[in-house]
Amino acid sequence: MSDAEFTAAPTSRPVTVILYAVAILIAAIFIYPFFWMVVSSFRTQEAILSAPMRLLPEHFDTTAFKSLATIGGTALSTFAWNSVLITVLATTIGVGVMGLGAYALYRNPRLPLFTSLRYGFLLTIMYPNMLLVIPLYFVSYKLGLLGSTLGIVLVMSLVPLVFFIFVQFFRTIPHEMIEAARIDGAGEWQILRLIILPIARPVILTAVLIAFLMNWKQWFPIMVLSTSPNTYTLPVALAALNSEYGVDFQATMALATITVVPVVVLFLATQRRVMGSFMAGAVKG
Amino acid sequence: MSSVALHRVPAERLSRKPRNAGQYATLYLFLAPFAVMTILFGLWPIADSIRIAFTDSSTALSDAPVYVGLENFRSVLADTTFQSSLWRTLLYTVLAVSINVSAAIGLAVLLAHPALRRGRTLFKLAIFLPVITPDVASFIVWKWMFNQNFGIVNHTLLSLGLPPFPGVTRPVSAFATLLIVEAWQHVGLYTLIFLTNLQLLDRTLDESAQIDGANGWQRLIYVTIPQLRPAITINTVYALIEFLKTFTVIFVITKGGPNFSTNFISYYAYTKFTGAQYGEATAIATILFVIVFGLAASAYAYLERSANR
């Protein structure tokens, strides 16, 4: 164990105490906004005004959550359902399409058009994504997809980080392994199903997790490509609540809590895998 | 012997050809959905956006768009609001990149310290949590934390006997607010990359420096940080691209104000778009694209060169 650490003389006690104090203070600054968000959603606006720093609510005031049953005439359940539906569909389609695409690019990068497609994809990442939404609006209109759930899902499906996770993974598979299977007479579909899929299971799970987390966060393309609040997801409803439907502080915090809690729980349950893949993907990107 | 070889080569070629064709067809099939989606929702919109930048806004969406050459670019570049938003975006990017990269080095060195063995995972989780949090939600929470009436930030400052922070009500402090909030949101990712790099470092260098009598700070500055160079380059390039495109935080917290002090290029293009000035909006988008592309390409070239050295 000690050879992985600085083998230097053990840190003196006061230094250790100071280091822990600093680390705890920093961690508190990072955690506090989450805590404040949840507590504020259970406190009335007047209560917060009179004692902003109170750590726990006087009593659990759930009026905000009740008032959120409909937002601007649309049911909260619609936004929640849209979030789940759009995130799950975009994740499924995206992981399938990018997994197969990255696999084909790894198998034979020298085929005509393969390299140009790789560069084409890199190019789309560099285009400011917020501004790509403007032409995407026109393209969706031309394809007749404007305002439809399918259109939103397709536009969101390609997540660069997920693509790089696949690229990184396939790089670790020796080409000889596939050559050997081909000499034994295996066809492409067999190679994919019998050799690649079994070893790719962990990376597919990682890709699904990352894609889910990233898609859940999406809001701007959904807002621009929607023609009515009926296709809004939770983050979009939150952005709309922030700017359009007046300023109800407590309700805003309640909706923020509803938006954030599912992904925080998912992340905490899978943190090792998620943090590892963010590193791998970012290093490549 | 030679007859055997002669006999074998054509046979192999015969059996290979149809199999390769079938194999390649399958590979193209695997790639097809990815290719279609990259083209439909990536390359085509980009090309279309660049095309629209050369059209007259009022005809941009009609069946017969009127092409006006470089007129949109000329008017955008002459627009003083655009000029100031460009400089503001560049200033913000430089500041945000320096703050995030240096804070991430500091956090990574702290978290890698051997004395913090217990609880290290918890500290890492706390710092990384904002990275996966929907940014709309966290930016809204921060907006209220900086609120003048019941924001926790001013309440804390006042209770410590410090002057209140004007937050988004004044130009300079609004700019600073965005820097703080975005650092909170993103620094965890950069910290994580530095932490990984730190774990791969050559410990013997540190030990020999210690034997030579170097103190902690000297070892940090002359031994550890130079070894972090690959991660510093990666993080800097990555952060450059991300912060040049800053948008959500402005949309949620400041809407470009007060008095245009946080009107960055992405947001300015978006307001042009909502104002139906499609030609100008896409011209601005194209200019930003060229800047991001130029920076990323030169950074990539630099990385390649230093990797081959």
Q: Same domain, yes or no, for B91 and B231?
A: yes
Q: State residue A58's pLDDT score.
A: 80
Give the C-alpha separation, A236 to A220, whole Å: 7
Q: Which of A48, A103, A139 has its CB closest to that of B150?
A: A48
| Domain count of the fold of chain B | 2
Q: Is B149 on the interface with A (CB under 8 A)?
A: yes
Radius of gyration of chain B measured on its C-alpha atoms: 27
Distances (CA, A) of A89 to A6, A96, A143: 47, 11, 19
Exposure string for B281-301, b = 16+ CB within 10 A, e = fewer:
bbbbbbbbbebbeebbeebee
Q: Which of B26, B42, B140 has its CB closest to that of A242?
A: B140
Phi, psi of A159 (to 5 degrees): -110, 110
Q: Same domain, yes or no, for B253 and B157?
A: yes
DSSP secondary structure string, B81-139?
HHHHHHHHHHHHHHHHHHHHHHHHHHHHHHHT-GGG-TTHHHHHHHHHHHHHS-HHHHH
- The alpha carbon dihedral of A70, A75, A77, A78 has a sign of negative
Helix axes B229-244, B278-308, angle to 10 degrees: 170
Say whether pLDDT at A133 is over 50.
yes
Q: State residue A9's pLDDT score.
A: 55
Q: Is B269 on the interface with A (CB under 8 A)?
A: yes
Give the C-alpha separation, B176 to B173, whole Å: 5
Q: Same domain, yes or no, for B27 and B96?
A: no
Q: What is the ipTM of this complex?
A: 0.89
Residue ranges of chain A that CATH labels 1.10.3720.10: 66-284
B64 in a structural domain: no
Residues of A in contact with B278 (CB under 8 A): 134
Give the C-alpha separation, B111 to B287, whole Å: 40
Contact of B127 with A30, CB cutoff 8 Å: yes
Q: Same domain, yes or no, for B10 and B110?
A: no
Give the nearest chain A residue to B239 (CA atoms).
Answer: A282
Exposure string for B50-85, b = 16+ CB within 10 A, e = fewer:
bebbbbbbeebeeeebeebeebbbeebeebeebeeb
Say whether pLDDT at B299 is over 80.
no
B57 in a structural domain: no
Q: State residue B16's pLDDT score.
A: 46
Give the nearest chain A residue to B231 (CA atoms).
Answer: A283
* Mean predicted confidence (pLDDT) in B128-150: 91
Q: Which of A33, A108, A128 has its CB closest to that of B245?
A: A128
Q: Which of A52, A121, A192 has its CB closest to that of B38?
A: A121
Q: Same domain, yes or no, for B143 and B288?
A: yes
Distances (CA, A) of A257 to A39, A40, A105, A260: 10, 10, 41, 5
What pLDDT, in 10s, does the model give residues B267-289?
999 999 889 899 999 999 999 98
Q: Same domain, yes or no, for B178 and B290?
A: yes
Residues of B in contact with A32 (CB under 8 A): 152
Give the C-alpha separation, B149 to B158, whole Å: 12
Say whether pLDDT at B19 is over 80.
no
Q: State residue B6's pLDDT score.
A: 41
Q: Give which of B28, B37, B135 is closest to A94, Cα–Cα.
A: B37
Give the C-alpha separation, A273 to A212, whole Å: 13
B54 in a structural domain: no
What pLDDT, in 10s, does the model give residues B74-127?
999 999 999 999 999 999 999 999 999 999 999 999 998 888 888 889 999 999
CB contact under 8 A, A4 and B199: yes
Say whether pLDDT at A174 is over 50.
yes
Q: State residue B40's pLDDT score.
A: 93
Q: Which of B132, B145, B285 has its CB closest to that of A263?
A: B132
Say whether pLDDT at B306 is over 60.
yes
Give the nearest chain B residue to A156 (CA atoms).
Answer: B41
Q: Give which of B126, B169, B115 is closest to B147, Cα–Cα.
A: B169
Give the C-alpha separation, A135 to A137, whole Å: 5
Q: Is A23 on the interface with B (CB under 8 A)?
A: yes
Q: Same domain, yes or no, for B29 and B115?
A: no
Probe site for chain A from B144, B244, B282 (most A CB atoms < 10 A)? B144
Q: State residue B24's pLDDT score.
A: 83
Residues of A in contact with B268 (CB under 8 A): none
CB contact under 8 A, B33 and A96: yes
Give the nearest chain B residue to A17 (CA atoms).
Answer: B115
Q: Is B127 on the interface with A (CB under 8 A)?
A: yes
Q: Same domain, yes or no, for B119 and B164?
A: yes
* Mean predicted confidence (pLDDT) in B41-64: 89
Residues of B in contact with A275 (CB under 8 A): 124, 128, 192
Return mean pLDDT, chain B.
86
Cα distance from A162 to chain B (closest Cα, Å)? Answer: 13
B141 in a structural domain: yes
Give me the domain span that covers residue B227. Answer: 79-308
Q: Same domain, yes or no, for B172 and B26?
A: no
- For the domain made up of A66-284, give the CATH fold: MetI-like fold (1.10.3720)
Probe site for chain B from A30, A82, A108, A145 (most B CB atoms < 10 A)? A30
* pLDDT band of B14, cuts 50, 70, 90: very low
CB contact under 8 A, B49 and A34: no
Give the nearest chain A residue to B116 (CA atoms).
Answer: A20
